[in-house]
C-alpha cells in the first residue's frame, strides 16, 4: 500500500495492520492506533504530532524527515526501527521495548524513556536535552562527542554532585 499526501489526522485506527507499505507527506497527527502492527513500513516527510501507538508492534520500520512530537510509543515493541532527521520532542517511549532502534540526527528534547528496555540501540548526532528516564538508556550506543556533551545529565542520573573548582 502506498499513501501520498493523505490526511488521516484524528483517526481512530485501533489494531490497524500495515505490511510492506509507504506513507509520504501524510498527516497522521493525533491518530490513535492502540495495538497497531507495522512491518516493513517506510514513513517519510509526514506529520505525526500527537500520534499514539500504545501497545503497538513495529518491525523493520523507517521514519525519515517526520515531525513526531508529543507522540506516544508507550508499551510498544520495536525491532529494527530507524528514525532519521525526525523531530521527536516530548515523545513518550515509556515501558517500550526497543531492539536495534536507531536515532540519527533527531531532536529528542524532553523525550521520556522511563521504564524502557533498550537492546543494541544507537543514537547519532541527536539532541537529548531534558531527556527523562536516563537510567533506562542502558543498551544505547552513542558517539563520543554526544556522551561528553551530556556528561551533566549522566552525572545527575547517577547522583554525582559537581564540585566548583
Please report the pLDDT score of residue 149 as a whole number. 84
Backbone angles phi, psi at 156, to 5 degrees: -60, -40
Q: What is the pLDDT of residue 39?
A: 98
Q: How far apart are CA 26 and CA 20, in angstroms?
A: 17
In a domain, 147, yes or no: yes
Look up residue 121 and give its three cell numbers. 540501540
Read off the pLDDT of residues 38-84 as tens digits, 9 standing for 90 and up: 999 999 999 999 999 999 999 999 999 999 999 999 999 999 999 99
Q: What is the pLDDT of residue 106?
A: 97
**Rounded Cα distance, 4 and 24, in Å:** 5
44 found inside a domain: yes
pLDDT value of residue 51: 97
The number of distinct structural domains making up the chain is 1
Say what the pLDDT of residue 151 is: 85
Residue 159, domain member (yes or no) = no
What CATH number does the domain containing 101 carry?
2.160.20.80
Q: What is the pLDDT of residue 163?
A: 84
Q: Is residue 118 part of a domain?
A: yes
Mean confidence (pLDDT) of the chain: 94
- Does a structural domain hold residue 90? yes
161 located within any domain: no
Query: Which DSSP helix (H) or strand (E) runs through 158?
Result: helix 151-158
What is the model's pLDDT at position 161?
84
Q: Within 13 Å and on the Cβ side, how many CA atoms surround 32?
A: 3
Q: In which domain, by residue range, is 80 found?
A: 2-152
Flag whether 160 is in a domain.
no
Residues of the chain with pLDDT under 50: none
Number of Cα atoms under 13 Å in the Cβ half of residue 86: 30
88 domain-assigned: yes
pLDDT given for residue 22 in this prediction: 97
Amino acid at each position: 500500500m502506498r499513501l501520498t499526501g493523505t490526511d488521516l489526522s484524528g483517526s481512530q485506527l485501533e489494531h490497524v495492520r500495515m505490511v510492506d507499505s509507504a506513507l509520504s507527506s501524510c498527516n497522521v497527527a493525533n491518530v490513535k492506533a492502540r495495538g497497531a502492527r507495522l512491518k516493513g513500513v517506510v514513513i517519510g516527510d509526514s506529520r505525526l504530532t500527537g500520534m499514539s501507538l500504545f501497545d503497538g508492534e513495529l518491525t523493520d520500520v523507517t521514519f525519515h524527515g517526520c515531525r513526531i512530537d508529543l507522540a506516544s510509543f508507550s508499551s510498544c515493541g520495536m525491532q529494527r526501527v530507524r528514525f532519521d532527521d525526525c523531530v521527536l520532542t516530548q515523545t513518550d517511549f515509556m515501558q517500550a521495548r526497543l531492539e536495534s532502534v536507531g536515532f540519527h540526527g533527531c531532536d529528542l528534547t524532553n523525550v521520556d524513556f522511563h521504564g524502557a528496555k533498550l537492546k543494541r540501540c544507537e543514537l547519532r548526532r541527536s539532541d537529548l536535552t531534558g531527556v527523562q528516564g536516563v537510567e533506562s538508556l542502558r543498551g544505547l550506543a552513542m558517539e563520543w562527542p554526544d556522551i561528553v556533551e551530556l556528561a551533566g545529565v549522566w552525572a545527575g542520573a547517577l547522583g554525582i554532585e559537581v564540585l566548583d573548582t
